[in-house]
Amino acid sequence: MTQKTIQVTPSRCIGCLNCELACASRDWGQYFPAGSKINLVFFKDGGQVPVTCFQCDEAPCLRVCQTGALARDEATGVIETDPSRCVGCRTCVSVCPFGNIAYSRPGRRVEKCDQCQGQPRCAAVCPSGALTYVDDAKVVQARRRAFAESLKEVAKEALK
Amino acid sequence: MNHTHRKVTGTIDGRKFEAPHGATLLDTAKGLGLTIPTLCHHPGLPPDGNCRLCLVESGGRLLASCMYPLRSDGEAFLTASPLALEARAFVLRLLLARAPNDAYLLGLAGELGVGADPRLTDGADGCIRCGRCVRACRAAGSEAIALVGRGRERKVAGPFFEAPIDCVGCAACARACPTGHIAYSEEPRSIWGRDFDLEPCPLCGRPMGTPEELRRAGVENPVCPACRRREYSKSLMGLPEASFPAP
């Protein structure tokens, strides 16, 4: 379980692609969306969703990696890559249920979100709050609060 | 007996180190910021000590540092003693005889002032027989290729020197090869004398990989990564205040 999460709220996304560009510029030094580890999925009938690695607890990528190129940072819970250990078998790419890990042919390494070592650029540049970097505990808290809000009127009724 | 927490101390080039019991000499030297040249070593694969470039001296003995485990206190190693450098130059001449055009080897040869041994150049095929491809293949989940034969006959090959039937075409071997000797093509996929089909994504038609490599990964009903992202993003679209990962 991660300590902090890049939380995605699709309804707030305005599709500006700032996140993709900020992500790609870190590793490639240029605005190169294909090198981004966060991806916007656009739909023909409107709307878009930014998606990136969830840092799964039972991560299939981590399970299949035999060389230690993928390893979880026990302090943060984030699954990090070590390009020097990667042999390029791309099994992790095949098994990720969400398509959030890629093999970069120009870079000769697997690429996945590592939350920028605690300072994710995508969340920093997101202008609309669709991407926020929050404590896991707060995600739960916010969700509980939203659910409670939806029951407020019912609760008032019951108390009458 | 559990040695997990035991530490071993000694010196490398006169510098003191403290390493976990069983750590390799190469990793420990790296930790001190020392550079020992390597070719067959890959941090993600088990060491095999095949190329001999990483030889260092310890009390008149030569050791392959990539697979020398530190188990006793007080050992002193020298990475650039006359003996170590002489051995390294000798190894380099032999490696250059196999791979005369490799940029990394040529760079090292320039530093040490050696060239390929002119008596041995008839086997110059670019492969140094280090077996990194074989180890990468096993790590990736197959055992399609192996080092076969002995001495000058030794080479990497599939069973019976034929195109390896267990090869899934993932090309991890070619990416792990330190001299870039293994020829392959991504699209269309071909390697080791075999041509592979590329499975098209059932949703968008883009090639996902060979059917054999997808089967090896154990993926049922594979869909390409871009379409996987699309598929689960769809389910999040209808929920105006949804956010994920969900608690």
* Residuewise pLDDT in 10s, chain A (160 residues): 678 889 888 888 888 899 999 998 888 887 777 789 999 998 888 788 999 999 999 999 999 999 999 999 999 999 999 999 999 999 999 999 999 999 988 778 899 999 999 999 999 999 988 999 998 888 778 778 877 887 888 878 877 7
Q: What per-residue confidence (pLDDT) applies to A68?
A: 93
- Contact assessment for residue A69 and residue A82, using Cβ atoms and an 8 Å cutoff: yes
CA distance readout (Å), B161 to B103, B147, B152, B155 = 29, 11, 16, 10
Provide the shortest C-alpha distance from residue B59 to chain A (in Å).
Answer: 32
Q: Considering only CB atoms, which residues of chain A are within 8 Å of chain B?
A: 5, 7-11, 39, 41, 43, 47, 49, 51, 54, 64, 66-69, 82, 84-91, 93-102, 105, 108, 136, 139-140, 143-144, 146
Q: Where are the beta strands (DSSP E) in chain A?
A: 4-8, 39-42, 48-51, 70-72, 79-81, 102-104, 109-111, 131-135
Average pLDDT of chain B, as a whole number: 89
Q: What per-residue confidence (pLDDT) applies to B241?
A: 54
Structure tokens at B101: 């055009």
| Structural Rg of chain B based on CA atoms | 23
Structure tokens at B68: 């020398």
| CA A76, A77, A79, A81 torsion-angle sign | positive
> Could you tell me if the ipTM is greater than 0.90?
no
More confident residue, B123 or B89: B89
DSSP string, A12-45: G-----HHHHHHHHHHHSS--GGG-SSEEEE-TT
Rounded to a whole number of angstroms, the distance between the first and last alpha carbons of chain A is 42
Burial of A44 (0-12, 13-18, 19+ CB in 10 A): exposed
pTM for this prediction: 0.81
* Angstrom distance (rounded) from CA B159 to CA B146: 8
> Is residue B247 over pLDDT 50?
no
Q: Is B136 helix (H, G, I), strand (E, B) or coil?
A: helix
* pLDDT tens per residue, range B23-60: 999 999 999 999 999 999 999 999 999 999 999 999 99
Instruction: Calculate mean pLDDT across residues B205-230.
Output: 89
Chain A residue nearest residue B230, CA to CA: A41
- Contact assessment for residue A61 and residue A96, using Cβ atoms and an 8 Å cutoff: yes
Provide the shortest C-alpha distance from residue B41 to chain A (in Å).
Answer: 10
Q: What per-residue confidence (pLDDT) applies to B244?
A: 65
Chain A residue nearest residue B231, CA to CA: A98
Provide the shortest C-alpha distance from residue A29 to chain B (in Å).
Answer: 24
Place of tokens 């990090």: A80
* pLDDT tens per residue, range B147-174: 999 988 899 999 999 999 999 999 999 9
- Contact assessment for residue B121 and residue B115, using Cβ atoms and an 8 Å cutoff: no
* Angstrom distance (rounded) from CA B33 to CA B18: 14
Instruction: Calculate mean pLDDT across residues B197-217.
Output: 91
* pLDDT tens per residue, range A83-118: 999 999 999 999 999 999 999 887 788 999 999 999
Q: Which of residues 4 through 23 in chain B touch A, CB cutoff 8 A?
A: none
Q: What per-residue confidence (pLDDT) applies to A158?
A: 78
* Angstrom distance (rounded) from CA A30 to CA A21: 8
Which chain A positions have a beta carbon within 8 Å of B240's beta carbon? 11
In 3D space, the residue among B223, B225, B202, B243 whose CA is nearest the CA of residue A41 turns out to be B225
| CA B186, B45, B18, B62 torsion-angle sign | negative
Q: Which of residues 124 through 143 in chain B touch A, CB cutoff 8 A?
A: 136, 139-141
Facing residue for B175 by CB, picked from A88, A97, A98: A88
All domains in chain A, ordered by first residue: 4-134 (3.30.70.20)
Q: What per-residue confidence (pLDDT) applies to B127?
A: 93
- Contact assessment for residue B25 and residue B68, using Cβ atoms and an 8 Å cutoff: yes
> Is residue B8 over pLDDT 80?
yes
Could you state, in order of their start, the residue ranges of all structural domains in chain B?
A: 7-123, 132-225
Chain-centroid distance, C-alpha A130: 12
Q: What per-residue confidence (pLDDT) applies to B239?
A: 58
Bridge partners (DSSP) of residue B175 are none
HSE-CB of B37 using CA atoms within 13 angstroms: 21
Facing residue for B225 by CB, picked from A66, A88, A96: A96
| Angle at which helices A136-150 and A152-159 cross, to 10° | 50
Structure tokens at B6: 């035991």
Architecture of the domain delimited by B7-123? Roll (3.10)
Provide the shortest C-alpha distance from residue A70 to chain B (in Å).
Answer: 10
Q: What percent of chain B has pLDDT over 70?
A: 94
Is there a contact between A87 and B216 if contact means CB atoms under 8 Å apart? Answer: no
